[in-house]
Each structure stands twice: as C-alpha cells, then as structure tokens.
Structure 1
Amino acid sequence: MTLLPDLRLDQRLSRDQAYELVDIADTTELLRAAASRRDAAHGDAVTYSPKVFIPLTQLCRDVCHYCTFAHAPRTGIKPYLSIDEAVAIAQAGKEAGCHEALFTLGDKPELRYRIAREELARLGHDSTLSYVAEVAKAVFERTGLLPHINPGIMSAEDLAMLRKVSVSQGIMLESASERLCAKGGPHFGSPDKVPAVRLETIEAAGKLAVPFTSGILIGIGETRAERVDALLALRDLNDAHGHIQEIIIQNFRPKAGTRMATAEAPSVEDHLWTIAIARLLFEPGMNIQAPPNLSPAALGRVVAAGINDWGGVSPVTPDHVNPEAPWPHLRLLEAATRSAGKRLAKRLPIYPAFARNPSRWLDSKLLKSVLDRIDGDGAPRTDDWHPGHVGSLPARELEWRKRPARSSVATDVPAIIAHAQRGSELTEGEIVRLFRAHEDDFGTVCRGADELRRAVNGDVVSYVVCRNINYTNICSFKCQFCAFSKGKMSENLRGKPYDLEMSEVAQRVVEAWDRGASEVCMQGGIHPSYTGQKYLDVCRAVKGAVPDMHMHAFSPLEIHQGAQTLGIPVAEFLQRLKAAGLGTLPGTAAEILDDEVRETLCADKIRTQQWLDVMRTAHLVGFKSTATIMFGHIERYEHWARHLLRVRRLQAETGGFTEFVPLPFVHMEAPVYLKGRARPGPTFREAILMHAVARLVLNPFITNIQTSWVKMGPEGVRQCLAAGVNDLGGTLMDESISRSAGAAHGQEMTPQEMESIIVSSGRVPRQRTTLYGDAGDARRQRSFDAVCERQAAGAACAAGGSRSL
C-alpha cells in the first residue's frame, strides 16, 4: 500500500504528508509522480544557464566545515579581483556564448580580516557588497553579460543596491536546522549560516521583488525531516512574495583538507528522494535544479526524479565551490538529457516566468538588455532575425524541413495537432504549448499545419493586386507601437504630416486601376478633425473615380470613431458606408485582443470587446472582413492564445472573416521599443509558428491564412508557405506603415514576383479578388502588362506571367 497521496496539479504535499514519506522504502512511485508533475509544467525542456564564474573574493568570515572555496589570506594573492580582472573573465564568457556572470564570494570578509578592510578602503569602498555592486555594473556595461550575485547575507539596503546592477540574486538556505549550528555541527562558528538570518535575507528579497535563487545542501548531518522543514520554510516565503526562481537540491561531496573530509556523501537514492519531495512540495511551475557536475554518473536518474534545470554551466571557468567536480561538456550534458527523454535548452539568469513580467522584477536600467534577449516566452532568443530583416534566415529554424518527421523526445504535441486537425477547439494551455515548440516539435507543428492546409486549400496560393492609400498620417491616438502617425498628439516620429485631398485619393485609385489593381486598401490615422462624414466622403471619392474598384477600408477603430462623431449606432454607420460603396473591412487595430496588453500598448484605443463588437456588427450587416494579430512586443504566449480563441469564437458565430493575417511587430522606429519597453519583434521561429498555429487553431472556421511579404521577406514567405499559409496578401504598391517602422523590404511586390515565389515553392499561383474570387483574365493580364510598361527599355518581361488557375 502506497503512502503517496493522490495530488492534483493545484495541490502540494503538506508537512505531515511529506513526513510520512521520509522512510519510504520503494521510491519508484514517488519519482514517477514527481516527473509527471514536472512534465505538466515544463514540458520537454531541461534548461541551463551558460555562465562564467567570477570569484570576486575567497575570503569569508564563516568557517563551514565542508568548504574549500573560502580560505584565509594568502601571501601573493590579492583579497579581491580587480574590476579589469572580473571584466576579462566576463569577456571570455561572452566570447564563448555565455549570458550570465555569476558573482560568488565569501560572506563579509572585512568583518574578520584587516587585509580585506584595507583593500576595500584602497578601492574606495567600506564593504564587500558595495564593491560587488561596482564590479557587477562594470561587467554589465562593458560586456553585456547579465549579473547574478550570490554574496551571502544581505540587508534590505544591500539587496536594493545590488538589484540595480543584477537581474537576479541568491543565497542557499542550506538547512533550517539550528542543530547544525551547534558545537560539532558543520555550521558551528559561522554566524551567517544561522537559518533565521538567512531566511530574513530571503524574505527581504521578496519584499523588494528580487528574482531569487535558494535551495538546500543535503548530506551535511541533517535528517530528511529537517530537509522537509527547510523546503517548507522556502515555500512559505515564496507563497508570500513569489520571488523564488529556483530551488537547488545540492548534494554534499566530501573534500580533502576540510573537517568533513571523511564524512559520507549522500547516496544517489537519497538525492533523488529529496529532488522528488521538493518537486511535490512546491507548485508544478517551480524550477527544481541539481548541479550536473555533482552527479556525473547519474544524470539520467536525476532528470527522472523531477528536475527541470541543471543550473549554471560554464564553458570557460571551473566550479570554484566544487573544484574537484568539473562541468560536464555541453555535448555530454545534451546527450544525457536527450537520453532521459528531454531537450536541453538555454535560459538567462532571470528565469522565463520572471522575464515575461520584467517591469515587476527588474530595475529599469536592466530592462532593455533583457527584453532584447528574450522571446515571447521569456527564453533566450535563438536568432537575430527580425521582421523586415534583409539577410540570411536563421539556419537552425530551417533545419526542420530537412529532418525526418520524428523525434527522440516524446511530447504531447502530436496529440494536440490531431485534436486541432479534427476541428476541435484547443484550450489556452494547448495553444501555448504549440507556441513553445522547438526543434523536432517545431517541425511537427509546421508539418501538421501544412497537412491541414493541403487538405483544405490544395496547392493553390492566392494573392490580390491592390494599392495601399494611407489618406492621412496625422493621428490623435498615441499607440506605442506606431511609427507611422504624426501630429500634435502622436509620438512625432520621422516623416512629415499630411492629409490627402479627395482629388488626390481619386487620382491614386485611377492609377491603381490602370496598373491592374482590383482593390484599394485604405487606412489612416485618426485625424482630430475627422468625423464619420469624412469616411463617407472617402468612399464616394473612390467609387466615383472607379466604380468597379473594390474598397477595403476602415478598421474597427475608425468605424467606432466615425459612428461616435456622428452620434449614431455603429450598425447605422456601417449601413451608410455600405451604401457609399465600402466593400470590406480590414481587421486591423486588433494588435493583441487582450486588455492586459492594450492597457500599455494602446491605452486610448478601443478595448478588446469593442473591437469584437464592431466586427460582429459589421458581419451581421453583411460586411466581410479580415482578422489580424500584431505580435512580438510586450505580450506573452497566453495573450496570443486568447487572441486566436476570440477570433475563432467570433468566426464560429458570424462567419464574416475571410482570412487571418499575422503581422510581426516591426520594432526599429516604434516608440515602445525606443523607450526600452518592448522586445525587438518575434523570433523567426515564433513568426513561422504564428502562421502554423493559427492554421490549426482556427480550423475549420477560417480557411485562409495569409503571410505578409513586407514583414517576412521573400525567403520568409517561402518558409511560411510550408507551414500552413495559402495566401500572400496584396501587392500593395504604396506600402508605408511597415516602412515607417523600419522594415527594409520594398513598397511593392509585382505580380511577377509574387508568382515566382509561389511557383518556386512548388505551388500554383492564383490572382484573386478581395473576396477570394478569381480576378479574371483581363485584370490579371493588365497587372502584368503594367509592370512591363514601367520597366526600362529592353528589359525582359514575360507577358502573362506564370501558369495560374
């Protein structure tokens, strides 16, 4: 009969339940439960932080009986590293691909050693912690590595000072047993190892919102029950403040030259028991870590016990605390992790869950550096690609098309894909899981989306010949992502303000028709003098110039504002627009359909429900529209999932969306990025996944997934075509919004170029209308001829272009 309670994911072991497991003989079920709990929260990844170890000083006032790191002053050895020495170590780490500069040092040596006090005075400091702050600042500013500081006992003032120069801090609790501090115990004579003192530091860190590392050291004379007590003390502090990033379960190793040199190390089984108990005592999302260099022969078993992190691993410096235990080579660690059924992944010293909410956990001076390094999940970016990028695509993300459709790691991704392919609604958690797909899972998601595309759309890829007409760039709104709008109320970025005359709008429509366009796409800023009448005038100008031109215009924001200024219901305003010639609506101004994001990104814009209500009303009065998402800035994967689900549910209700269009955030000139408060757009992996996941989530209600050539570029478009996309959008002619934000791709892609991309991808091109009908031979031929007419004399032009349907 098992003593292991049946815990739901929202339940944790109580103290009494953990005590009952202290003497458990067969740990098989315990380890299995811990691993299952880990898998539910962390999936297939076991992480590590590429780091350099900077031992700023090895002097310490404590005399722990197992420690070889700390030593008394030695002749010829300076008590502290100089700033230049620390920076040199960090620079070597940067060149080796590290993210983290780990500062480890003895505790307050100046309180014990005169030489420490004298050296600090020479350096212009009165405490070791003050010097740590100066060195960490220099390392960050001169190398860009992110400091993580383990300096021992700290006051609230110390923690606040170090928070300004580090992304995380830490102190091992080691044990909560006062007994170990008594005479004969391993902590006797070490005032900084008193549990209450260490817990006070950890609590102060929580009150100051410091991302914090802690844990226990097992095998130094404590009992299993005392380990439980220590873990519960940490749990109580984390429950109060939510600041503990990871719990380290470190196994003691006896070292020659110490008082505990002959002590027996804990067994592997004892270590595994403690890891599993820690996993079950904490919430599933807690990061449980075990240093790999301390269990080199049991790495697979350590994974199976429930860890999800190996800690910091250095390709440059030794483990100065355990110099007898070298770091495993990363290839060996990766192989061992994969053999255990997991994927080795990098992280920053600030864990993803904390990096996803950086304004809470980081000093403002560190914010931009972290945001520049992370993806939407808070993990390190795996490429330097960005929307509008010109150059080679990330090789790692292209490998999925070359690898066979199999994985050495068993995951839940295939089951989620099958669920979506059947047309069932996925949960928010399942969608987030798809966005977290890496390596083989990434390829599996892309293939699954493309299988669905082939079944729904066949091999035809459509596009529309259109012209963008942005009738004004003056806007009264202050959207933090927008580099297009200008004016008194805008962020006043590059470019001159303008407001086109209706005669100019009409002339551009005529030019577009002459160049073979079947659509004009019209959007602009919300000019402070505009009313709904202006939008009616625009409609009449377009239809008066070319009656057969399809007018695709006015976002839900413009519809909402137009109705409001006329003092009429949205439905009535939409009816007037329809009578004036409006054909369809663009689904822009959506950004992220979640008010948590909109509150920061576009605080004065319509809210999520207002956007949905305008679209619902438009569909009900007979309009079709597109739907979009603008992603890669301040939002998280959960927001992407909610956005997709809201679009899906509205489409299931109205059937009014013709297509879904992912729009990767172009960061270069965006105010929110320039202010250091946003990521530099999505990674290439994320951009491809947005198209693939949208195809799966929106099935069967939205059957057209479009990619933006302006954002993705020609080569990126080809990748999207293999990941669920069946439409390339419009030729645009005068694209200016993305270009204003810094995108480097051209303002127009000709029909010839569109069809060349499609054919080279093994697909069949089709020029379409806005509503996905065939453009017709006459319009198509005119669009090709117009390009030829503009080419230089003698330039080759294949009239009629490639074969299409």
Structure 2
Amino acid sequence: IAVVDEGPAEAVLDALVRTGAAFLRTGRSRVSQAAELAGLPGADAVVSVFVDDVEEAVAAVGAGAGDLLLRGWDTERLGHLRDALGGSLLERTAVPPGVDLDAARRAFDRTLLAAYLDQIDGSGAARPRTGWAPGKDLPIPKPPGRFSAQWTDPAWTSATASATEPAADLAGILDRSLEGTPPTRAEVRRLFESRGAEVEAIAGVADVLRRRANGDVVTYVVNRNINYTNQCYFRCGFCAFSKGPRSLDLRGDPYLLEVHEVAARAREAADAGATEVCLQGGIHPEFTGDFYVSVVEAVRAAAPGLHIHGFTPLEVWQGAETAGVTVPDFLRTLAAAGLGTLPGTAAEILDDRVRRHLCPDKITTAEWAYVMTHAHRLGLRSTATIMFGHIDGPGAWAEHVEVIRRIQRDTGGFTEFVPLPFVHMGAPIYLRGRARPGPTWDEVVLMHAVSRIAFDGLIPNIQVSWVKLGLPGAASLLEAGCNDLGGTLMDENISRAAGASHGQMAGPEQLEESIRSVGRVPQQRTTLYGRVAATRGV
C-alpha cells in the first residue's frame, strides 16, 4: 500500500498508520517533511518520490527519500545513479523487499503469488530480467571480468564502473575472515544479502581463502550415479524425479532396478575406470532396511575395489525404521556390508520453517543431523549439501550453514560442501506457482563464495555442480572459492527430470578442459580426496 502525501499532515499520518502502508508517496519539494512523518514511532513507511534525473535523485535521497520512482530510465542512466549513490540502489517489485513469504501466501491468491514469486530473488527484490536459471541451456549472464550480473549498463558490463568500497560492516566481516575469524550466523546472513560490487568483494576474498587451503589444484572424481528407483511415497515439492501414488506430479514411467542390475551397473563403472559409485533413489513403498544392505553387498561382490558412496540420511532413517533397529545399529550394518561414505543430500534447506512447505513429510533438521552425527562417529564420512533458490532466502541459508558448522565442529566428518541450485522447470512446487524460478546468478555466486568463507578451517572443499550450472558456469565459480568439480556421473537422472539440459555425463577430458580454462591444475581424486596417480577414462 502507498499513501499519497496530500492534505494536512495529520490526515496523512492517520492514513499511513491505520493502513500499515509501506510507502508514503510525495513530491520532490516535500521529501523532508514526508520523511519526518514516515519516521515517527509506529509509522514504518518509506518515502517514495518521482525523479527525472540523477541530480534530482541524489537530492531526494539526501532529504530522506528511500524509494525512487523512475520513468523511462535506460540502463546507462541507472548506472550513473548507482555510482552517484555509492552502489546502494536496488530495484523492487510492487511489493517492498523483505516481505515475509508467509505473509505473501496469506495476502495473494494463487495467480498473484505465482507472478510475485516469478519476479523476486531470495530477499524479495526484483530479480534480473535475463531469462537465465540453473539447468537452462543459456550462457551465464555475468559480463566478462565480473562476478555479479546485477547490472547491465555499459560501465558495469565493460568493468569500468567506478569502484566502491564495501560498506563498513561488510568490510569488517571480510577483513576478519582473512585473519582467520569465521563470520557469525548474523554475519553469514549479511554476506548472503550482498549485491553488485559487494558480490565482487566477497568472491575475491573467497578465492584468496581457496588458494590458501587448496592452492591451484581443482579436483574431480570418476564416478557413476545409480538411481535405483524413481518411485517414492514422500511428497517433496521440489522433486520432479519421483513417481508414485503420493507424488505431487506423476510424469514419465516409474521404474525399479533389481539388485543384480544395480550390481551390474557398478561393475560396468569399475571396468570403465570409475573409483566411486553413488547409490541414491526414491523411497519405494516396498523398501526395507534389508534392501539397502542387499544393494551394498551385491555391489561389493561385483566390484570389490569400487568405493560405495550411498544412501541419504532419509534412506538411512527409513531403513533403520523398517528394520526395527536404531539408526546407529543400521549404520553399523551398512558399514559392515561395505558402505564407504554417505551423500549429504536430503538436506535441502536445514531450516524447518522452510521444510514444512518444501518437504513436509521428510525428516526434520534434527533428524538429518542425528543421522550424520552418528555416521561420522562410526567413521562413515559424508558430504554436505544445500538446495537453494525456491522458497528460501538469506536467513534460511545462514541457518543451514550454522547447522553444518555445528556438526562439523563436533565430528569433523564432512569432506565437502556442495551447493545445489534449484532447477525449477519441472519441479512440482514451481509448476503450482509456489516457488521462485531458481536462484539468480548473483545468489549462485554468493552461495559458493560465502560457503568458502563460512567453512574456512572446517570444510576444505567447496564443490560446484556442473550438472546444474553447465561446465562454463561451473568453471567461472572456480574463481569464487570452489576447488572441486564433482564427478563424471555417467548416469545422472534427477537434475534431468527437473528440466536441466547440461547432460548426464562429462568425461575426465571435459572436466580437465574446463579446469584448465581458468588457469587451474586438474587432479583426479578419490571419494575421500586422495589423489589418483593417473587419470582414468570412462
């Protein structure tokens, strides 16, 4: 709601307070008086004013305006305004940034909510109009020489825009990070809320920390993904892979591989030079703990030298429950059968305020942490992931990071952190108009760079997913804190089902070419980051 500043001040103030308006729209000559009204206790509004040029805009901001209405401004003039304001310029939609998503769900009908979510980023500001999204076969939208794609004016895209120093609070966080003091949860959130030139500064610090931890070596693993079923009785809104009687969107044919088929594919992978097989799938209604144990035993028998990286905390929880044993006892059984490590998926966002909308019947944050903590204590190491860019935002991301840090400080069991950008095109929650179309490019950069900063000294490896971002996108993030390109995969079905178009396999030669394209040194690794002496093909 916007209240127009017309008539007696008392009447304007009464309308402002009783409507709960977000904006007080005034004329250029009345900005300071309007700012006085809007700043009174109980009148939580921003002064909004039309301006026609940069000089008027700067004067209005100096007088107390916080919202500029710009008619017909081209990108070049917007760039001049950004520089004149020291970089503090942010486009909004009809709704002010920072509106709680629960409030939007209550206020908007289905059509309006879908339109609103299509227009915003994780902070509720207007998202760039590039058309790019994770999984789409489009060039990454950032200009050469930049990390941030927030601006499209000539000065920004040619990397000649005047440099602005980071705000004092951000500069302090980055300086302390370089000195070895990790950011607090609140500071992690502040990092995630950064924009434009701040994104550039954060990426630069992340890359310094990457170089200190890993040098110029970028690793990858030769592996095969085996998704043994796409049938699942859970109803995760983001998942376009699962098929089942309770799934949100039944498309495609359901399948279930027999145990001997899983073992045969593992043998094929080993024969082709893979050092790892990754086992994951839907939670089939007929699965019990015995199924997971039998798969591990069969793979171990078929390919004794292959590292088995398998079963999310959700699968472990369900396996233990159906076997009638405790989670630690079930993990012991899996380890005895030959399980080597666990993937850190099923984490999505480790904030139950988000999970109750995104994956309401899945294990909770505490249950995910319980499985991982006990796995680590038993000597089963794991990865950690975050799936972001849907109905989450900086607050939830910071909460997720803090959960992972707490576990890692206790156990030291995470080998790597893997940001997974939400691929929206086939996701049921997006198709129903209840999620954003993935993260923006700047949010992708921030997630990887902030992860490097937040986990410095705790988790040495930050992986970028070429399946979600394509090889060019992944390669660019090797300069923003990442040191691992993941695996060759051979058969990757989950991202493809969600609409990703970046392929189901990348050979070692392709990965190494991408690594060298940014001046880094490729190195094949094992699951636990041991070096493989000679690169092996697939």
Sort the Cα spacing of 1:741 and 1:304 in 2 relative to 1 into closer, same or farther, 3 A: same
Q: Aligned-pair distance for 1:517?
A: 0.5
Q: Does 1:214 align with 2:6?
A: no
Q: Aligned-pair distance for 1:329?
A: 7.4
Contact 2:28/2:51 (<8 A) preserved? no
Q: Does 1:343 align with 2:88?
A: yes
Contact 1:718/1:757 (<8 A) preserved? yes
Q: Aligned-pair distance for 1:343?
A: 3.0
Pick one of 52, 59, 62 that aligns with 1:304.
62
Q: Does 1:369 align with 2:115?
A: yes
| 1:390 corresponds to | 137
Q: Deviations over 1:10-64 (max 9, x none)?
A: xxxxxxxxxxxxxxxxxxxxxxxxxxxxxxxxxxxxxxxxxxxxxxxxxxxxxxx
Q: Aligned-pair distance for 1:339?
A: 2.4
| 1:407 corresponds to | 163
Structure 2: distance between partners of 1:380 and 1:280? 28
| 1:674 corresponds to | 431
| 2:305 corresponds to | 548
Pick one of 172, 178, 187 that aligns with 1:430.
187
Larger deviation, residues 435-444 vs 727-736: 435-444
Sort the Cα spacing of 1:545 and 1:667 in 2 relative to 1 into closer, same or farther, 3 A: same
Written as runs of structure 1 = structure 2, the 5 A alignment for 1:392-541 is: 392-396=139-143, 399-400=146-147, 403=159, 407-408=163-164, 410-411=166-167, 412-541=169-298
Q: Does 1:248 align with 2:25?
A: yes
Q: Does 1:738 align with 2:495?
A: yes
Contact 1:232/1:281 (<8 A) preserved? no
Q: Does 1:693 align with 2:450?
A: yes
Q: Deviations over 1:741-763 (max 9, x none)?
A: 11101111000111111111100
Q: Aligned-pair distance for 1:403?
A: 3.6
Q: Aligned-pair distance for 1:617?
A: 1.1
| 2:369 corresponds to | 612
Q: Which amino acid aligns with 1:378?
A: G
Q: Which amino acid aligns with 2:374?
A: T
Q: Which amino acid aligns with 1:279?
A: G
Q: Aligned-pair distance for 1:495?
A: 2.5
Q: Which amino acid aligns with 1:354?
A: V
Q: Which amino acid aligns with 2:3?
A: S
Q: Which amino acid aligns with 2:305?
A: D
Contact 1:334/1:344 (<8 A) preserved? no
Q: Deviations over 1:695-738 (max 9, x none)?
A: 11112211100011100101101111111000001100001110
Q: Aligned-pair distance for 1:342?
A: 4.3
| 2:126 corresponds to | 380
Q: Secondary structure at the match of 1:365?
A: helix
Contact 2:54/2:77 (<8 A) preserved? no
Q: Secondary structure at the match of 2:489?
A: coil
Sort the Cα spacing of 1:638 and 1:689 in 2 relative to 1 into closer, same or farther, 3 A: same
Q: Does 1:279 align with 2:56?
A: no
Q: Which amino acid aligns with 1:348?
A: T
Sort the Cα spacing of 1:421 and 1:649 in 2 relative to 1 into closer, same or farther, 3 A: farther
Larger deviation, residues 599-608 vs 375-384: 375-384
Structure 2: distance between partners of 1:277 and 1:519? 65
Larger deviation, residues 539-548 vs 459-468: 539-548
Instruction: Work out which structure has the larger RCO, using CA pairs closer than 8 Å and 6 or more positions apart in sequence.
Output: 2
Q: Secondary structure at the match of 2:90?
A: strand
Pick one of 8, 12, 18 that aligns with 1:237.
18
Structure 2: distance between partners of 1:732 and 1:329? 44
Structure 2: distance between partners of 1:731 and 1:764? 17
Q: Deviations over 1:474-529 (max 9, x none)?
A: 11111111111112222353322121111111111110001110000000111111
Q: Which amino acid aligns with 1:530?
A: F
| 2:155 corresponds to | none
Q: Does 1:647 align with 2:384?
A: no
Q: Aligned-pair distance for 1:418?
A: 2.1
Sort the Cα spacing of 1:424 and 1:244 in 2 relative to 1 into closer, same or farther, 3 A: farther
Q: Secondary structure at the match of 1:463?
A: strand
Q: Does 1:291 align with 2:38?
A: no
| 2:151 corresponds to | none
Contact 2:54/2:80 (<8 A) preserved? no
Q: Aligned-pair distance for 1:400?
A: 4.0
Q: Aligned-pair distance for 1:641?
A: 1.2
Structure 2: distance between partners of 1:408 and 1:282? 34
Q: Aligned-pair distance for 1:389?
A: 1.6
Q: Aligned-pair distance for 1:390?
A: 1.2
Q: Aligned-pair distance for 1:347?
A: 1.5
| 1:184 corresponds to | none
Sort the Cα spacing of 1:432 and 1:404 in 2 relative to 1 into closer, same or farther, 3 A: farther
Q: Aligned-pair distance for 1:668?
A: 1.2
Structure 2: distance between partners of 1:652 and 1:565? 31
Sort the Cα spacing of 1:515 and 1:418 in 2 relative to 1 into closer, same or farther, 3 A: same
Q: Which amino acid aligns with 1:363?
A: D
| 2:461 corresponds to | 704
Q: Secondary structure at the match of 1:344?
A: coil
Gaps of 5+ in 1: 1-211, 253-265, 316-327, 787-805
| 2:154 corresponds to | none
Q: Which amino acid aligns with 1:377?
A: S
Q: TM-score, normalised by structure 2?
A: 0.92
Contact 1:276/1:305 (<8 A) preserved? no
| 1:352 corresponds to | 97
Contact 1:249/1:275 (<8 A) preserved? no
Gaps of 5+ in 2: 149-157
Q: TM-score, normalised by structure 1?
A: 0.62
Structure 2: distance between partners of 1:297 and 1:385? 33
Q: Which amino acid aligns with 2:62?
A: A
| 1:176 corresponds to | none
- Residue identity (%): 47
Structure 1: distance between partners of 2:356 and 2:207? 35
Q: Which amino acid aligns with 2:122?
A: G
| 2:359 corresponds to | 602
Q: Which amino acid aligns with 2:18?
A: L
Structure 2: distance between partners of 1:487 and 1:564? 21
Written as runs of structure 1 = structure 2, the 5 A alignment for 1:11-410 is: 212-217=1-6, 222=8, 227=9, 229-230=10-11, 233-234=14-15, 236-237=17-18, 243-250=20-27, 271-272=31-32, 274-276=34-36, 278-279=38-39, 281=41, 286-293=45-52, 299-310=57-68, 312-315=69-72, 335-336=80-81, 338-354=83-99, 356-357=101-102, 358-382=104-128, 383-396=130-143, 399-400=146-147, 403=159, 407-408=163-164, 410=166
Contact 1:385/1:393 (<8 A) preserved? yes
Sort the Cα spacing of 1:231 and 1:560 in 2 relative to 1 into closer, same or farther, 3 A: farther
Pick one of 315, 328, 344 that aligns with 1:587.
344
Pick one of 528, 549, 570 that aligns with 2:327.
570
